[in-house]
């Protein structure tokens, strides 16, 4: 394993879980809540606490159990950490924690998944048939990874000798490191699909980390690294895309754009890509890192609160539902229709706006002046101890925090 500093990574991990590692939340038994949050991921946990704090700050504190989080998952996963697992920097167990202890004790915890939304009656139904009513609803369910959209992928991921892996699952992120570290020569291919995915920079983060690992261990002259993307460019924001493409050329990484992975023949180590013109091309690989296509959860997609694409249909500024009849519904994070990159950083900017507007609606019937501008961020790891910090907002316009101190469109070392 590389001898790089772990201090910064330890801080990152502790921050991921430190805010609410408290007493085990009360298992909720009542069926009506002032605020019901569906989803106990980073978005749901964060916004539930911020809503509670906002009422308290106004001198109108909510009672314990007035806010509830409904989620049937046993564990909470800090998914940005999976890139570090695939890079050999952390064990995957560092990025998983039991969900129940993460829910604050003053927030009711409902250990069930929701199976349907009934916005006309301000209620949801869980998988056990339990009806939960609410005054206000926050949807933070995340999105769905479509593993079966690529023929042969699931089989390949389960085969330790296939050379196929993905950082997009807790079950497979450690296989990425096994494959990267085990490769001595051949063709290493990293893919990204067209369309919406969570953390759109992650497919190339793991590629850059692998490239750097090969460079540091004197394997770069024996391993060819290629990036196959269904997108037309390296990144959606031109400023960063141009810089990343220049880095790709400088490092000798092949770039194949408009190529969507559609099938894997793992016994023969062959990947099939569909090009923008509809033609197919077969490519042999030794290592294949796959980013599957993603989309809205079936739970949301077929519900009355979804837009035509299947995302929760909310105003891009206020995060309140666009249907005035559903004005007590809000959403944030990956499940929402917000036209910005789906990242944990985006959630940190969305949650305070949602909390403020939900509070205002419940107190006055109207949203406040709080608006979300689409801010999101992608710390693009470009090697061990270095990154390019991409920050932008709606319209793919850069919104940078540190441009007065360094050029954010360049890769910088942060660990010596």
Retrieve residue 246's tokens. Answer: 């220049």
What is the Cα–Cα distance from 251 to 247, expressed in whole angstroms? 6
What is the Cα–Cα distance from 37 to 237, expressed in whole angstroms? 32
What is the Cα–Cα distance from 192 to 261, expressed in whole angstroms? 8
Taking phi over 0 as left and psi of -120 to 50 as alpha, with beta for the rest, 163 belongs to: left
What is the Cα–Cα distance from 31 to 153, expressed in whole angstroms? 41
Retrieve residue 8's tokens. Answer: 């910064």
The residues carrying an active-site annotation are 199, 378
Closest CA to 133 of 273, 8, 33: 33
CA 58 to chain centre: 32
């Amino acid at each position: 394993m590389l001898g790089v500093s772990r201090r910064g990574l330890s801080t990152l991990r502790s921050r991921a879980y430190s805010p609410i590692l408290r007493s085990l939340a009360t298992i909720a038994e009542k069926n009506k809540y002032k605020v019901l949050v569906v989803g106990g991921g980073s978005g749901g946990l964060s916004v539930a606490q911020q809503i509670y704090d906002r009422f308290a700050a106004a001198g109108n504190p909510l009672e314990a159990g007035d806010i509830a989080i409904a989620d049937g998952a046993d564990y909470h996963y800090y998914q940005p950490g999976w890139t570090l697992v695939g890079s050999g920097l952390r064990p995957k167990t560092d990025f998983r924690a039991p969900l129940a202890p993460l829910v604050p004790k003053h927030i009711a915890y409902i250990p069930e998944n929701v199976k349907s939304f009934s916005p006309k009656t301000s209620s949801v139904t869980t998988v056990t048939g339990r009806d939960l009513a609410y005054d206000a609803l926050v949807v933070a369910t995340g999105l769905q990874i479509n593993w079966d959209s690529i023929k042969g992928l699931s089989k390949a991921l389960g085969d330790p000798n296939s050379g196929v892996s993905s950082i997009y699952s807790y079950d497979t992120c450690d296989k990425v490191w096994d494959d990267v570290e085990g490769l001595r020569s051949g063709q290493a291919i990293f893919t990204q699909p067209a369309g919406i995915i969570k953390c759109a920079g992650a497919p190339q983060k793991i590629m850059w980390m692998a490239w750097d690992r090969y460079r540091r261990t004197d394997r770069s002259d024996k391993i060819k690294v290629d990036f196959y993307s269904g997108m037309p460019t390296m990144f959606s924001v031109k400023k960063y895309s141009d810089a990343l493409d220049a880095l790709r050329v400088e490092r000798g990484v092949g770039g194949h754009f408009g190529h969507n992975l559609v099938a894997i023949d793992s016994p023969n180590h062959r990947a099939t890509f569909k090009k923008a013109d509809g033609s197919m091309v077969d490519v042999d690989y030794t290592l294949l890192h796959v980013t599957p296509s993603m989309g809205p959860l079936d739970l949301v997609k077929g519900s009355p609160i979804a837009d035509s694409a299947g995302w929760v249909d909310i105003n891009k500024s206020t995060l309140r539902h666009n249907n005035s009849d559903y004005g007590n519904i809000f959403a944030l994070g990956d499940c929402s229709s917000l036209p910005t990159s789906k990242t944990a950083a985006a959630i940190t900017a969305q949650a305070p706006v949602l909390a403020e507007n939900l509070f205002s609606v419940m107190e006055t019937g109207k949203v406040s002046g709080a608006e979300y501008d689409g801010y999101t961020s992608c710390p693009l790891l470009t090697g061990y101890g270095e990154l390019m910090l991409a920050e932008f907002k709606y319209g793919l316009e850069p919104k940078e925090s540190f441009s007065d101190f360094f050029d954010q469109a360049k890769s910088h070392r942060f660990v010596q």
